[in-house]
Structure 1
Amino acid sequence: MRTWRAIGLMSGTSMDGIDIAVLETDGETVSRFGPAALHPYREDEVALLRRAVEEARSLTSRDARPGAVADAEQMSTLLHAGAVRMFLDANGIDPASIDVIGFHGQTVLHRPDDRLTIQIGDGQALADETGIRVVYDLRAADVAEGGQGAPLVPVYHRALAAMLDRPRPIAVLNIGGVANVTFIDGIPDPYACDTGPGNALIDDFMRARRGEIRDENGGAAARGKVDEAAVARVLKHSFFALKPPKSLDRNAFREWVADRAQLAEKNVEDGAATLAAITAATVATIVPHLPEAPRSWIVCGGGANNATLVRMLGERLAPARVETAGDVGWNADAIEAQAFAYMAVRSLRGLPITFPTTTAVPKPMTGGVLAEPRAAGRKRMSL
């Protein structure tokens, strides 16, 4: 089977920057992990993305690009193109050696029950700017067929877990802005869903209170006291009683948690501690909905860098073993970018990336739109 060399690009709901990674794969197994990096956003870039998310809340068409949404799409596309060029230069990689780029884009709205998901980012323009073909818009086909459109990464988690010697069942827990879990126990298709809020609420709280983009390593939460009554109130939300598959928008719990956790009344440390405990507790609510309780949990995504959150997960998920992706030899910060490289290759091969057991789509679905770079000499994009 042919091996493809692919780049994956991921800009998540945490909005810390563009994750970029190289992966060599046939779309089923992983042959080699390449370099990875983060291209961080500036504060003004984050501000525009956040405005786009706010303006997108009222959209009813996935093609609509009003005001800040259009501006953010152009900016995001250019930033991704620049990130690819700098990454290739920094690692001495010939662009001609890259077969495809998997481009997630930036989610500004995810409302699958209305068959609506919007990831901004111009895939054709990215192909033109980089000279490399691009697979993009990877959620749309699933949502159009009635799926949740998320989580997408489980098909890659399955490939990673196949390389791992750990007691089964294994749960791979990705904590980005939203948290999602993949259950792996030898069944043919991965079994997965969103579990609840991830880093988004903590990040937003720290930004509002201290102007910081995150609770670095969970330091503030470590000094605070968890309001267990607030955690219990948050867990009464109907989402946690739903069986998988299920998915969330980044802002789905913002008002609910702010009200039920009474965040306005808490100092920074107690607020951060309570929000971390909410994330851990909402992850634990998924265990009764899984085919059986996992024996091993592997935490990846930005949440793996929050030591306080990882400790809380260990307490909530005991007696299961909880480790970070770094503990098992994975690059915790690169997994989502690697996943979009992997899915781009699967898309080119016509292999499914979503399944009834991950997104509730009626049948296994491939996805993505292919953009081939157009002839040189075109007019380049500019802000």
Structure 2
Amino acid sequence: MTFHAIGLMSGTSLDGLDICLARFEKQQAWHFEILKAETLPYSEEWENKLRNSICLSAEELLELHSEYGFYLGKSVKRFIEKHQLQNIDLIASHGHTVFHQPQKKFTLQIGDGRAIKLEIDIPVVYDFRSQDVLMGGNGAPLVPIGDALLFPQYDACLNLGGFSNISLKINNRRIAFDIAPVNIILNAFAQQLNKTFDENGDLARTGKINEVLLSQLNSLPFYQQSHPKSLGIEWCNESIFPLCKEIGVLDLLATFTEHASVQISKVLNENQLKKVLFTGGGTYNSFLTEKIRSKTDAEIIIPQKDIIDYKEALIFAFMGVLRINNEINVLASATGSSKDHCSGIIA
């Protein structure tokens, strides 16, 4: 059983649209190969549209939902033509998260899958999160199914993206949860210095840790909650940014990098993890990864570049394959929903 699928991922840090074509093959177990992948940086116009989408009226948001769907469709079409691809079985699109409030039973990822389908006429699977939220789950994290079936050789998989999240196996159950914000905060501070992000953590290296702020951050109630749990931009706006006033930007970067490393290493140590796969854009922040390594005995594995950059898009492609085959693609043990289920709307 072999499938060729394209996964689309737009992260909260807004660095662009990840497009990943992979081949998935099932013998006794699933195997994968990334065939082509690239990130299309957003134009300033699109970055602003997506960044400000949380402020739109209902009418404007519905308009953007359609417009962004056609944008995704056109982007995939160009990707297919550029690489002269054929025989693609499906497209799986995560969409771009605007709202995520599972406690109120809603989450919204814009980018209408039907618009994508109209552009390329290949089956599209989209809206992976809503069903889980309606079933009492967090709607996140979803990648643990891919971690379990595509990366079984690691004790845990940790993603350093807009937020850091981890999936691991405890007593034969795959659990997963968000640990702490990472790039969504660090990028916001770096942008105050006219940088898109803090490359290698070089800016943070020059700052000083503000011990008062560090203590306040580490004391936030979210870190004491048990899993499953997830974070959104709303939480950052309420809980993080108000604490960060009247402190220099370099010191904020240094302090927040330290904070992220404290929270991440704490999770690795509490769960006595030996071999952990690190992926996501934050993996390139060598200052952050050095700080995490200094606080844990876990072996941190940083894989080849295409896995670092495209693991999430890869797994959404895989989730689309599972959805088309009516197989479970969301784990209740990870999201907290009432049961494992097969999620995603097919266009």
User: Per the shorter chain, which TM-score range?
Assistant: over 0.9
- Superposed, which structure 2 residues align to 1:256-335 within 5 Å? 256-260=239-243, 263-287=244-268, 292-316=271-295, 318-326=296-304, 331-335=307-311
Q: Does 1:205 align with 2:189?
A: yes
Q: Does 1:244 align with 2:227?
A: yes
Q: Does 1:82 align with 2:60?
A: no
SS in 2 for 1:32: strand
Match 2:114 to one of 124, 141, 156 = 124
Identify the range of structure 1 (334-343 vs 177-186) with the bigger mean alpha-carbon deviation.
177-186
Aligned mates of 2:303, 2:67 — CA distance in 1: 31
Task: Give the deviation of 1:349 after TM superposition.
Answer: 1.2
- Summarize deviations over 1:282-335 as a string: whole Å, max 9, x none: 2234347x6x3211222111111111111122123x111223233xx7620010
- Summarize deviations over 1:90-145 as a string: whole Å, max 9, x none: 22212xx1100001111000000111100111111101101111000000111111
Report the AA paired with residue 50 of structure 1. Answer: R
Cα pair distance change 1:89/1:248, threshold 3 Å: same
Cα pair distance change 1:51/1:31, threshold 3 Å: closer
- Summarize deviations over 1:182-240 as a string: whole Å, max 9, x none: 114682x4211111212101111222x12322112212112222223322211211111
- Superposed, which structure 2 residues align to 1:335-350 within 5 Å? 335-350=311-326
Mind listing any 5+ residue stretches in structure 2 that lack a counterpart? none
Q: Where does residue 88 of structure 2 map in the other structure?
A: 98
Checking the alignment, whether the CA contact within 8 Å between 1:190 and 1:358 is kept in structure 2 is yes
Report the AA paired with residue 59 of structure 2. Answer: P
Mind listing any 5+ residue stretches in structure 1 that lack a counterpart? 57-64, 372-383
Q: Where does residue 37 of structure 1 map in the other structure?
A: 38
Aligned mates of 1:37, 1:86 — CA distance in 2: 12
Report the AA paired with residue 119 of structure 1. Answer: Q
Checking the alignment, whether the CA contact within 8 Å between 2:6 and 2:20 is kept in structure 1 is yes
- Superposed, which structure 2 residues align to 1:68-217 within 5 Å? 69-94=61-86, 97-162=87-152, 164=153, 170-184=155-169, 187=172, 189-207=173-191, 209-217=192-200
- Aligned pairs, number: 345
Aligned mates of 2:277, 2:49 — CA distance in 1: 33
Q: Where does residue 66 of structure 1 map in the other structure?
A: 59
Q: Where does residue 222 of structure 1 map in the other structure?
A: 205
- Summarize deviations over 1:15-45 as a string: whole Å, max 9, x none: 1110000111147612422111001101121
Checking the alignment, whether the CA contact within 8 Å between 2:204 and 2:250 is kept in structure 1 is yes
Percent of pairs with identical residues:
30
Aligned mates of 2:97, 2:128 — CA distance in 1: 11
Task: Give the deviation of 1:146 after TM superposition.
Answer: 0.4
SS in 1 for 2:94: strand
State TM-score, norm by structure 1: 0.85
Aligned mates of 1:72, 1:147 — CA distance in 2: 26
Task: Give the deviation of 1:253 after TM superposition.
Answer: 2.2
Q: Where does residue 60 of structure 1 map in the other structure?
A: none
State TM-score, norm by structure 2: 0.93
Aligned mates of 2:320, 2:291 — CA distance in 1: 35
SS in 2 for 1:179: strand
Aligned mates of 2:59, 2:266 — CA distance in 1: 38
Checking the alignment, whether the CA contact within 8 Å between 2:32 and 2:150 is kept in structure 1 is no
Aligned mates of 1:337, 1:186 — CA distance in 2: 28
Report the AA paired with residue 41 of structure 2. Answer: P
Q: Where does residue 5 of structure 1 map in the other structure?
A: 4
Report the AA paired with residue 332 of structure 1. Answer: I
Q: Where does residue 59 of structure 1 map in the other structure?
A: none
Cα pair distance change 1:333/1:134, threshold 3 Å: same
Aligned mates of 1:319, 1:142 — CA distance in 2: 35
Q: Where does residue 377 of structure 1 map in the other structure?
A: none
SS in 1 for 2:252: helix
SS in 1 for 2:234: coil
Report the AA paired with residue 273 of structure 1. Answer: A
Checking the alignment, whether the CA contact within 8 Å between 1:280 and 1:309 is kept in structure 2 is yes
- Summarize deviations over 1:162-188 as a string: whole Å, max 9, x none: 2x4x6xxx221112112110114682x
The runs of at least 4 consecutive aligned structure 1 residues that moved more than 3 Å come to 284-288
Cα pair distance change 1:330/1:81, threshold 3 Å: closer
Checking the alignment, whether the CA contact within 8 Å between 1:304 and 1:325 is kept in structure 2 is no
Cα pair distance change 1:161/1:228, threshold 3 Å: farther
SS in 2 for 1:10: strand
